[in-house]
Structure 1
Amino acid sequence: MPRRDRARRTAFAHLGPLDTLIPLSTGTARLTLENDGSVLLDVNGVPSSHLHPDPEHLVFEYMRWMLLVIDRQLEGLDRPGSGGGPSPAAPQIAHLGGGGCSLPRAVAARHPRSRQIVVEIDALLAEQVRDWFDLPRSPQLRLRTDDALSALVSWREDRFDVLVRDVFSGSLTPPELITAEAAGHADRVLREGGLYLANCAAPPGTGLMADEVATLASVFAHVGVIAEPAHLSGKRRGNCVLVASQRPFPEGIDRDLRSDAVSVRLARSAQVEALARAGRVLVGT
């Protein structure tokens, strides 16, 4: 299909040039328009975000899983007060790592009372994606150009209901963000009962998933793993979602996951404990 015909099918009115390298502060981006009108954003040759015309439709599987957990966490927090009582404070959510802001965009659509801040290290990318993908404006969704760890350390304690880590340098999470020190800061900035969600892309045989679980377990009372069985057993690479909190997780997460298009589960406690025993606590240098 000619590019000009494909461009007519997108719902994103201000999308940047397609199928060409676009300069960024940290390298280059590429936008690819799919047949369903969704747009794949590659950053430095690695798929970063996939945005659908329907903001609640998430193409990346691990983002769908994160959204299901966030839905459960925000139950009761983002509803107006009833019976004449005061409305609860707007849920506060922080995202370390922005890209095209697929997940924040979905959260904003599903939970319009929420207030989100997204930390993106690439200034040009942060500037472009707001227009390309018609992202909500502040205060619903704020973009902050900063290093993820610097932003995490700078935030005051008890600030967020949910903290999401989805930061990659190439195909791996920067090592300074998977340490016990970083987990301690995550715990510090979360409100009582808050949830920490982390995207872990662990290559088979590296033990990285076990190390991350052990590290989070050294800080948080409750740690969970959302993954496909083959990934959980270390047979293949894939994205899993690590969940951590000082309180038990909201009920219904595993039931919600069973409705996903792929076979994914919240790992049993015994499986998580085995991972923690097999891993080592990662500390900063």
Structure 2
Amino acid sequence: MAGRASSSRGARSASHRPPTRARPGTIGTLPDGPVPVATGTVELRRDPDDPNGVTLVLNGVPSSHLDLQDPTRLDFEYMQQMAAVVDRVAPPGEPLRVVHLGAAGCTMARYVQATRPGSHQLAIELDSTLAELVRTWFGLPRSPLLRIRTGDARAELSRLATASADVVIRDVFAGSVTPRHVTTREFTAEVARVLVPGGVYLANCADRPPLDVARSEAATVGAVFREVVAMAEPAQLRGRRYGNVVLVGTERTDLLDAPGLERAVRSLPAPTRLLRSDELRAFVGAAGARRDPPEPDASGPS
């Protein structure tokens, strides 16, 4: 099941929006109350003081937030952090090829299409019913601009062509936990295979103190990609509460060290700290990369 754990406080993201935007498609009729889907139930929660805002809640977990009229508004802090990186992958307005592992409400897909019209995107969502509903509800771009494929994120990733994406975004959850099989070095190597040379991998890692998962995931991304940063609110990085850490991996040496990214992160509505180089190594500490379990010995007794 794909979903999101978030530290959203409803802060509006405006400071990093590029000037090029496309209007959203036609919004469908939104339901009141829970709706059954293949993996449980989905509910769209509305705030009377925010008529355009919708929070998609999957099995009780806030999974996506969307502004029905403004796809560039991102309320979840980790999505604002991801957008700050995506905005710098290519010149403003230039289309990208993006793979979203975990679709839910397709918030990031809407953002990319609004800021980079003509982008070709693939969203992979485990829940086939949810995928059909969000297309109806949120006026998502149609194929080939946005294809939604149902299936397991890792299995579907393995079927994609080598060097076929500029960006891969992993936002896969089962409840509040990312399934282990999409956190390992072997999985991350598959992401690197699908990316073009210099492509960018963004992973949403939700963790709680003492951040053992986030540290091992950072070590895992660093075992595959030359350049790695971690972004999160300072309290989260100090291990004070449950929240989200965004990990970024790439072979590009000009993207993550650029002063523009540091400025963009500092200007986000919620305080955000960016860890790289020595600070990131100190954060990882002795944590090792995550690995797939060993294959069972099929040879049998001799």
- In the superposition, the TM-score normalised over structure 2's length comes to 0.84
Verify: 1:180 aligned to 2:185, yes or no: yes
Gap runs ≥5 in structure 2: 1-24, 294-302
Deviation at 1:42, TM superposition (A): 0.5
Within a 5 Å distance, the mapping from 1:62-141 to structure 2 comes to 62-75=78-91, 78-79=93-94, 90-141=95-146
Shift of 1:278: 2.5
What's 1:24 paired with? 37
Comparing 246-255 and 199-208, the one that deviates more: 246-255
Amino acid at match of 1:62: Y
- Cα deviation digits, residues 197-231 of structure 1 (max 9, x gap): 00011111241111001111111111110111111
Q: How does 1:1-285 map to 2 (within 5 A)?
A: 13-18=27-32, 20-35=33-48, 36-37=50-51, 38-53=53-68, 54-75=70-91, 78-79=93-94, 90-250=95-255, 251=258, 252-285=260-293
Q: How many residues align?
A: 263
1 CA distance for matches of 2:245 and 2:254? Answer: 17
Q: Are the aligned partners of 1:160 and 1:194 in contact in 2 as well (CA < 8 Å)?
A: yes
Q: Residues 86-125 of structure 1: CA distance to partner in whole angstroms, max 9, x if unpaired?
A: xxxx421100000001111011001002111100010000
Moved more, 190-199 or 269-278: 269-278
**Residue pair 2:222, 2:228 contacting (<8 A) in 1 also:** yes
Matched residue of 2:278: which SS?
helix
Asked which structure has the greater RCO (Cα within 8 Å, sep 6+), the reply is 2
TM-score (structure 1 length as normaliser):
0.88
- Tell me by how many angstroms 1:265 deviates: 2.4
Partner of 1:84: none
Partners of 1:13 and 1:158 in 2: CA distance: 34
Deviation at 1:31, TM superposition (A): 1.0
Residues 192-201 or 216-225, more deviating: 216-225
1:125-171 per-residue CA deviation (whole Å, 9 max, x = no partner) reads 00000110111111111111111010111112111110000000000
Give the share of equivalent positions with the same residue, in percent: 43
Compared CA separation, residues 58 and 12, structure 1 to 2 (3 A): farther
The answer to whether the 8 Å contact 1:223/1:243 transfers is yes
* AA at the equivalent of 2:36: P
User: Partner residue of 2:9?
Assistant: none
DSSP-derived class of the 2:231 partner: strand
Rounded to whole Å, the distance in 1 between the matches of 2:169 and 2:254 is 15
* 1:3 corresponds to: none
Instruction: Tell me by how many angstroms 1:273 deviates.
Output: 1.2
Cα drift, residue 249 of structure 1: 4.8
**Cα 1:166–1:124, aligned 2, differ >3 Å: closer, same or farther?**
same
2:233 maps to a residue whose letter is: E
* Contact kept? 1:214, 1:275, Cα under 8 Å: no
Change (3 A) 1:269 1:28: same
Alpha-carbon distance between aligned partners in 1 of 2:89 and 2:186, rounded to the nearest angstrom: 25
Provide, for residues 167-199 of structure 1, a one-character-per-residue CA deviation record: whole Å limited to 9, x for no partner: 000001000000000111011111010000000
The runs of at least 4 consecutive aligned structure 1 residues that moved more than 3 Å come to: none
Tell whether the 8 Å contact from 2:228 to 2:276 is kept in structure 1 after alignment: no
State the alpha-carbon separation in 1 of the partners of residues 229 and 276 from structure 2. 8
Contact residue 253 and residue 266 of structure 1 kept, 8 A: no
The 10-residue stretch of structure 1 (31-40 or 174-183) with the greater mean CA deviation from structure 2: 31-40
Helix, strand or coil: the match of 1:72?
coil
- 2:88 alignment partner, SS class: helix
Structure 1 unaligned regions, length at least 5: 1-10, 80-89
Secondary structure of 1:231's match? helix
